[in-house]
Amino acid sequence: MKIKEIIVVEGKDDTKAVKRALDADTIETNGSAVSGETIEKIRHAQQKRGVIILTDPDFPGEKIRKTVSASVPGCKHAFIDKKEAMRRGGKGIGVEHASPEAIRQSLKEAHTMTEELKEVITKEDLLDAGLIGGMHAARRRARLGELLKIGYTNGKQLHKRLMMFQVSRKDFTDALEMVRQEEGQ
């Protein structure tokens, strides 16, 4: 499988994992302090072939994602679930630990954030759904993020990401229903 876009990853081990999964070119950020030179490479790649951001599902990975997408509009975003990115034995999390199938699937489901933020799901909807506050909110958000392919978020980020990816009310309610069924509600 060959992919047209250039994939932005954090480091060499992520590049190796991507190349095990498919035929693709990468740009490595070499950590969360993304240099101006790297941003320029990503900007050029976006103009020529398009870019997909695939970072670790952790705080530094999210920081890189925000830095790149703020500087280079129109990038696609691919997310790997935390459980798919866990090193066998539980020590460490990252793209480099994900299976080739998980990487291929995340890239296949990559989507673009929109700049035009239209509120379809309100913060009140999130509160009513038990996704903000409450005992199991973090677990519900994590599962919802997996189902909607928008990655893990905290409560504040969830509302913004739902708007940025223009998640429809139907997709939201379908995913929420699945979360509730899995919880046995």
pLDDT tens figures, 68-98: 999 999 999 999 988 888 877 667 889 999 9
Mean pLDDT value across residues 147-172 = 88
Measured between alpha carbons, how far is residue 112 from residues 70, 117, 120, 164, 185 in Å?
Answer: 13, 13, 17, 8, 33
Q: What is the pTM of this model?
A: 0.73
Sign of CA dihedral 69, 170, 153, 100: negative
Instruction: Please tell me the predicted confidence (pLDDT) of residue 90.
Output: 67
Contact 84, 93 (CB under 8 A): no
Instruction: Please tell me the predicted confidence (pLDDT) of residue 185.
Output: 61
Say yes or no to pLDDT of 58 above 70: yes
Mean pLDDT value across residues 63-69 = 93
What residue ranges do the domains of the chain occupy?
Answer: 6-112, 123-183
pLDDT tens figures, 128-159: 999 998 889 999 999 999 899 888 888 888 99
Going by their DSSP bridges, the two strands 76-78 and 111-112 should be labelled as antiparallel
What's the CATH number for 6-112?
3.40.50.140
Instruction: Please tell me the predicted confidence (pLDDT) of residue 11.
Output: 94
Instruction: Please tell me the predicted confidence (pLDDT) of residue 49.
Output: 96
Closest CA relative to residue 93, chosen from 147, 123, 55: 55
Instruction: Please tell me the predicted confidence (pLDDT) of residue 98.
Output: 92
pLDDT tens figures, 91-136: 788 999 999 999 999 999 898 876 666 778 999 999 999 999 888 9
Instruction: Please tell me the predicted confidence (pLDDT) of residue 108.
Output: 92
pLDDT tens figures, 17-44: 999 999 999 999 998 889 999 999 999 9
Phi, psi of 86, rounded to the nearest 5 degrees: -80, 135
Give SS3 for 49.
coil
